[in-house]
Amino acid sequence: MNASTRAELLDGYASGVPVRLLAERFGVHRSTVREIAAKAKISPRRRSLSERDAQEATRLYTDGMTLVEVAARLGVGDEAVRAAVVACGGTIRPRGRRAM
């Protein structure tokens, strides 16, 4: 990756572009995006949900959306949604196909 591409990736990371999107855009793995940011001394970021968003995430998940679907709607990672659901007393469903 050349210097200008790396700078563009770092600018996106610093401005909050999701790691998944940066990885897709620059053709690298998500861990590579985080590694490049760490080497550039940019603090790792984890967007947590506000109490209100955590409750909304829990409601959406309980109503049948997947973690990934809720995450996409709220603009966060699925792990943030998982943590919010558990923190709000929800239970994570087993992986696999949803019942029709």
Query: The domain that contains 86 carries what CATH number?
Result: 1.10.10
Q: What pLDDT is recorded for position 63?
A: 95
Those residues with Cβ within 8 angstroms of residue 83's Cβ, 6 or more apart along the chain or in another chain: 48
The CA distance from 90 to 55, in Å, is 10
Q: How many domains does the chain have?
A: 2
The CA distance from 55 to 4, in Å, is 41
Whether residues 99 and 51 share a domain: the answer is yes
Higher pLDDT, 72 or 8: 8
Whether residues 99 and 52 share a domain: the answer is yes
Domain that includes residue 71, residue range: 47-100
Does the pLDDT at position 90 exceed 70? yes
Whether residues 28 and 64 share a domain: the answer is no
Q: Is the dihedral of CA 6, 10, 16, 18 positive or negative?
A: positive
Whether residues 99 and 58 share a domain: the answer is yes
Whether residues 62 and 79 share a domain: the answer is yes
- Residue pLDDT, tens place only, 41-74: 988 766 678 899 999 999 999 999 999 899 888 8
Q: What percent of the chain has pLDDT over 70?
A: 93
Averaged pLDDT, 79-85: 90
Whether residues 54 and 77 share a domain: the answer is yes
Does the pLDDT at position 79 exceed 90? no
Whether residues 53 and 75 share a domain: the answer is yes
With bands split at pLDDT 50, 70 and 90, how would you rate the model's confidence at 26? very high
Which residue, chain included where needed, has tokens 């998982």?
A: 82
Whether residues 100 and 66 share a domain: the answer is yes
Whether residues 65 and 18 share a domain: the answer is no
Quote the pTM value: 0.56
